[in-house]
Amino acid sequence: MSVRVPAALAEQARARLLELAPRGFEEVERGDELELAAYTDPAGEERLRAAFVDVLSSPVAPGWEDGWRAFHRPVRAGGIWIGPPWEPPPPGEPVVVIDPGRAFGTGAHPTTRLCVELLARAPRGSLLDVGCGSGVLSLAADRLGYGPIVAVDDDPVAVEATRANAAANGVDLVARVVDASRETLPVSDVAVANILLGAVEDVLGRLESRTVITSGYYAGERPASPGWSWLEGLELGGWCADMFRCASV
């Protein structure tokens, strides 16, 4: 089922559709309109038609439930194979298996891959993963020889996902709910923060680490980093990541 709305009404349409299709929906920009689409049954079709004026419907092919898997392909970063559980990992390589779910981080996004590449170059030691999401960076750090590892996020769903993915990969770490903008952060040798630019700048002022790897912002941007010395940066697909060292060390 799909509906088209003027771009000016996009937020209202998203909110309404989220009520009718809480498991999620797709959206595509069509000129000055936004198309929203969801999979549903006949009862759901009736609810959509009652909520929106113009609704289009089309049948889906058998096996549509698993079609989303085609979008999750393995990647390699920092010498590590990162992929979903339905893809067979190659023998003899470090492997991180991530089940795509409700928390950000399958390994495929450029910011994730850039962070793993910089983790592979950084000195090993204890690691703090700020805004851990699915835990993919913590798991990659484990494969690269970091430890002990503490993963924090202000979203309980992300912390739950990190714990589940760590268990599935046989990784021993601590994951807990922490608001990195207000609460005390654990001391670590290395910290990684793949979050929004403003949040990165806030966290940089609160970390007690020797080295920090940051990402989550576009190429050409760099977080304001008083007290930190810039070491190097990488770019991929219009995104970038940076490595800093504490200037007082």
For 77-116, how does the pLDDT look when each residue is reduced to its tens digit (9 = 90+)?
Answer: 999 999 999 999 999 999 999 987 766 788 889 999 999 9
Of 118, 123, 156, whose CA–CA distance to 137 is shortest?
118
**How many structural domains compose the chain?**
2
The reported pLDDT for the residue numbered 77 is 97
Q: What is the pLDDT of residue 30?
A: 87
Closest CA to 203 of 162, 244, 160: 244
**Looking at the domain assignment, is residue 148 inside a domain?**
yes
pLDDT in tens, 188-197: 999 999 999 9
Q: Strand 127-130 to strand 149-153: parallel, antiparallel, or no bridges (unpaired)?
A: parallel
In a domain, 65, yes or no: no
State whether 101 and 177 are in the same domain.
yes
Higher pLDDT, 65 or 7: 7
pLDDT at 164 over 80: yes
State whether 23 and 86 are in the same domain. Answer: no
Three-class DSSP category at 194: strand
143 and 236, same domain (yes or no): yes
Q: Which residues pair with 211 in a beta bridge?
A: 190, 245
- Whichever domain contains 150, its CATH number is 3.40.50.150
- Say yes or no to pLDDT of 67 above 70: no
Instruction: Tell me how far the alpha carbon of residue 186 is from its chain's centroid.
Output: 21
pLDDT at 169 exceeding the cut of 90? yes
pLDDT in tens, 33-65: 889 998 888 888 888 899 998 898 888 777 766
Average pLDDT, the chain: 92
Q: Which domain covers residue 37, as residue numbers?
A: 2-59
Q: Do 43 and 158 reside in the same domain of the chain?
A: no
Confidence of residue 66 (pLDDT cuts 50, 70, 90): low
Please tell me whether residues 49 and 107 are part of one structural domain. Answer: no
Q: Do both 20 and 110 map to the same domain?
A: no
Beta bridge partners of 212: 191, 244
Residue 140 — φ and ψ, nearest 5°? -65, -40
Last residue of a domain, one of 11, 35, 59: 59
> Can you tell me the distance from the alpha carbon of 81 to that of 74, in angstroms, rounded to the nearest whole number?
7
Query: Could you tell me if 102 and 152 lie in one domain?
Result: yes
State whether 200 and 103 are in the same domain.
yes
User: What's the confidence (pLDDT) of residue 26?
Assistant: 85
Rounded to an integer, what distance in angstroms lies between the CA atom of residue 92 and that of residue 105? 24
Work out the average pLDDT over 150-166.
Answer: 96
- Is 64 part of any domain? no
The answer on 223 and 136 residing in a single domain is yes
Answer yes or no: is 91 within a domain: yes
